[in-house]
Chain A
Amino acid sequence: MDTHKLNVATTDSPAAKPRKLKIATVSLAGCFGCHMSFLDIDERLLPLLERVEFDRSPLTDIKRCGFCDIGLIEGGVCNAENVHVLREFRAHCKVLVALGACAINGGLPAQRNHLDLGEILQMVYRTGHGLAPGSAIPDDPELPLPLNQVHPVHEVVKIDYFLPGCPPSGDAIWAFLTQLIDGRDPALGHGLLQYD
Chain B
Amino acid sequence: MNDSFMLDGEEIPFTPGQTVMQAAAAAGKYIPHLCWHPDFAAHGSCKLCTVKIGGRFATSCTVRAAAGQEVENRTDELDARRRTLLQLLFVEGNHFCPSCEKSGDCALQATAYEMGMLTPHFDHFYPDRPVDASHPEVLLEFNRCILCELCVRASREVDGKNVFALAGRGTKSHLIVNSESGRLADTDFAATDRAAEVCPVGVILKKRVGFAVPIGARTYDLQPISAAGGDGTTGRAGDTSAPRKTEAG
Contact = CB atoms under 8 A, between A and B. Distances in A.
Interface string B94-109: 1111111001100001
Contact of B98 (A108, A114, A190, A191): A108
Nearest to A152: B124
A191 B126 CA distance: 28
A101 B119 contact: no
Nearest to B91: A105
B100 A196 contact: yes
Nearest to A100: B98
Interface string A128-152: 0000000000000000000001011
B127 interface: yes
A110 to B, nearest CB: 7
Interface string B119-133: 111011011110000
A32 B124 CA distance: 23
B98 A105 contact: no
Nearest to B114: A190
Interface in A49-105: 98, 101, 104-105
Given A154-B119, A159-B119, A196 B90 contact: no
The bracket for how many chain A residues form the interface is: 20 to 34
Nearest to B123: A155
Nearest to B119: A162
B116 interface: yes
A196 B98 contact: yes
Q: Most A CB atoms within 10 A — which of B104, B121, B126?
A: B126
Nearest to A151: B124
A12 B124 CA distance: 47
A195 B119 contact: no
Contacts, number: 74
In terms of DSSP, what is the predominant structure of the interface of chain B? loop
Contact of B116 (A105, A161, A193): A193
Nearest to A111: B96
Interface in B204-235: 215, 221, 223-224
A105 B124 contact: yes
A162 B112 CA distance: 14
A102 B110 CA distance: 19
A161 B119 CA distance: 9
Contacts of A191: 221
B118 interface: yes
Nearest to A154: B119
A163 interface: yes
Contacts of A194: 113, 221
